[in-house]
Chains A and B, each alone.
Chain A
């Protein structure tokens, strides 16, 4: 009997996807200004190659990759470079960004191909094209995709896993991508399978996206071995280790990566983007963003030029409601609140969720009553109750001994804590402190 596709533990937050799940993706108008931070991906920030006054066309490179684990940045609209300088970044800091005044009367027409079409390209040429197109993981972490497509020689990859779980509440960008662009998903899978040299691909989709599963099944080609797998609706189904456990019943060892068990996981939006890049010949300059939450007037899934300011994006969705309280980049479980709405959408921005007073967690917290609910929730089977009490007294080294490194900050423990102890936040701080002490 086949094993039920599931992982152990996890939580069941409210779905909240009904705000946007049924709304087709639309394109937002070009904003007046585009802000392109040079740090939008994991690894080294890009290096600016334009100067104030330069004219850029849509798709022109404005930042060059700095090293192998890095990615180039491209202009997402035609215009004039105003300044290269510090600007609010969604992570709360100020980071170097290329600011472009968008030409108001430009047609923003697509230019001749920058990226070649893919049929006939060799594996190396494909990976180089993906690198030149500035493709990074669109699921949030923004890890450069060309690095993932070229795993080290000693790792043997046999399966490509496409992550269509979208287990975060509120977000529906991946969902709509699968419903509206299933062919792109499969083209992207073909390209990635060729890069990786694997002959097996699996798409995992949570069962609450029945229309996405149906659309994928209808578009599924027969000449490659790719299957669509409906998965239990549970957070964090979309975490790499959980997804691999659900689909393949393989446990990624503690401290190792999916490639160590022969798997490469790619977010479904990244896969579709790879196809789109080769289809249009334009690099990654726009992405689908879910703008949602009860604090925004007209929730929507939008095609957004990378670098659009949050304020412009929210304006395109009818603006904030009077009770809007917190603006979150990403999903409500792992996303970060942004303080400054001048901060732009990045390549890795899956959604902008505006929460109201009613949605936000209460501020007061109580002492730990040792109910153990966090232990029952933790998908990586560490003991948040113990780690939390160690974090409060800053015993970080002991936390390290108790597998803090395995924590992926999914937030299940904080979510389920009746005493409202900010466990996830404590662990994030502890990880940062440990990194600092190890570097020193």
Chain B
């Protein structure tokens, strides 16, 4: 009695219901509240910038990536996360270029999903920061109707900005760093401050990331390591000079820290595989963020902190290998 339809596979014959595409699309889905909040704060520019960045990412993946790799959702994540890390008033073509660069040079060139060393979204952002420093640090002040597009969204590629004298605001970190003006904690937490699209609503990001952590789709040790390190260092420094250095809560809820810690640093591909490694990685990012923010030339340091730690991941992995069961045990003579 044989049957030609019988399946012969290797054990185990059962598996968890999770799959890589499910994890990736869950991450995208969990960002919906963040996007909604950002749209509420910054207006219709937000979906436009996000769409432009995601289009850049997805079209590049489609053109150069492996066949069928769009379905795994990783290109969409890169696009959305990149979009969330951009200023609302950025010309759309720049967002598109950033998404294309992130996927092309941040992922596909390494061999696609799972092979890249650096977070593709952050690499795209770093490229934009280097290529268009002015546009990347122009934070549109919210004026007039909610329907007004922020800044120069519709600028033609390589053309002069349409609105030269747009009203711009400053970010809380910039205010603190260059003018020693602190921002209220409430404004920081709910996001009614200047800054990139997705970095302002700290509480919403915390809740959405927490949901992913509960489902074990992100390693909570990484954001925990970042938050603890930044908070402790900030508290110590504030005790030294309360005017120059912002306190722990202001540090946690300002700039890209929330988005970076919850969504960028926890990218599975570019973070360590072991628990101990995750703690080291998170704490390393925390230290670098504090150093760059307080003593570096930039107001914001999360992006470079994560990219720097990304480069150390292979070493962290190597140093934190699990020790085989019974490898330490010595027999009694």
Contacts and interface: CB of A to CB of B under 8 A. Distances in A.
Interface in A224-250: 241
The listed residue with most B CB atoms (<10 A of its CB), out of A366, A368, A386, is A366
Given A372-B273, A375-B273, A381 B325 contact: yes
A378 interface: yes
Contacts of A373: 216
B326 A251 contact: yes
Nearest to A311: B1
A366 B6 contact: no
Given A367-B112, A369-B269, A336 B11 contact: yes
Contacts of B63: none
Contact of B274 (A372, A402, A403): A372
Given A341-B1, A342-B2, A383-B321, A366 B19 contact: yes
Interface in A366-405: 366-373, 375-376, 378-383, 385-386, 402-403
Contacts of A379: 325
Contact of A360 (B9, B114, B331): B9
B327 A415 contact: no
B184 interface: no
A403 B14 contact: no
Contacts of B6: 325-327, 337, 339
Nearest to B72: A366
A335 to B, nearest CB: 6
Contacts of B275: 372, 376
Given A327-B6, A336-B11, A359-B14, A378 B112 contact: no
Interface stretch (B20-28, B86-94, B134-142, B239-247): B20-28
Interface in B89-139: 112-115
A213 interface: no
Contacts of B115: 367
A350 interface: no
A398 B331 CA distance: 26
B323 interface: yes
Given A335-B11, A367-B115, A416-B16, A380 B324 contact: yes
A386 B317 CA distance: 10
A370 B10 contact: no
B22 A418 contact: yes
B164 interface: no
A251 B324 contact: no
A406 interface: yes
B12 interface: yes
Nearest to A14: B14
Interface string B157-196: 0000000000000000000000000000000000000000
A264 B7 CA distance: 37
Interface of A: 11, 13-14, 92, 169, 241, 251-256, 260-261, 311, 325-328, 330, 332-337, 339-342, 353, 355, 359-362, 366-373, 375-376, 378-383, 385-386, 402-403, 406, 409, 411, 414-420, 422, 424-425, 428
